[in-house]
Amino acid sequence: MACHTIHVDDIVEATWEATQWYRKKGRSGTVIFNLADKGKTTHGDIVRAVGKVFDVPVQFYGSIKLKMYHVALKMEMVRDEVNEKHMKPWTKLLEDSGIHNSQLSPYMDETYLQFEEVNVDGGKLTRETGYQYKWSGVTVEGLKAQVASYQRAGIWPKETKMEGGKA
């Protein structure tokens, strides 16, 4: 399943670029830009990248298998199982690292287990303003950089084991 993505750095830069373009062009009224990189990222791509970053085995079920699970199980049960598996270790990691307040959470809302693809065209921003996205899709390097920024902000455990060493 496709899910277009955008890196937070591109959100900030694209927003700034759009405001400057709007001001320079003397525009009035509302102009809407969808923000999305050209990565054609799938849910499987994201899961595999996360697995590589943290050097853990991952498993991704495609939409057909998920639909079969949806028929056989209530998605609330799947959500509860996923959250039970991830929330306790995350909380322990935070406690062991002395982090008492983090905006980050591995909590999985049931809506993330639904089957809709999310696709938008982020090209209008490039065509209208000339802005060029810096990131294309979810990458191992991008995820590591994001974790490192969270560690610097004190909201991610510093001792997180990642492929190739700490972030």
What pLDDT score does 66 carry?
Answer: 62
Higher-confidence residue: 156 or 55? 156
Average the pLDDT over 14-28 and give the result.
93
What percent of the chain stands above pLDDT 90?
45
Poorest-pLDDT segment among 20-24, 41-45, 46-50, 130-134: 41-45
Structure tokens at 110: 């049931």
User: b/e string for 53-78 if b means 16 or more Cβ within 10 A?
Assistant: beeeeeeeeeeeebeeeeeeeeeeeb
Span between the terminal Cα atoms of the chain, in Å: 29
Domain boundaries along the sequence of the chain: 8-152
For the full predicted model, state whether its pTM sits above 0.85.
Answer: no
3: DSSP letter = B
- Residue 155, SS3 per DSSP: coil
Residues 139 and 48 sit within 8 Å (Cβ to Cβ): no
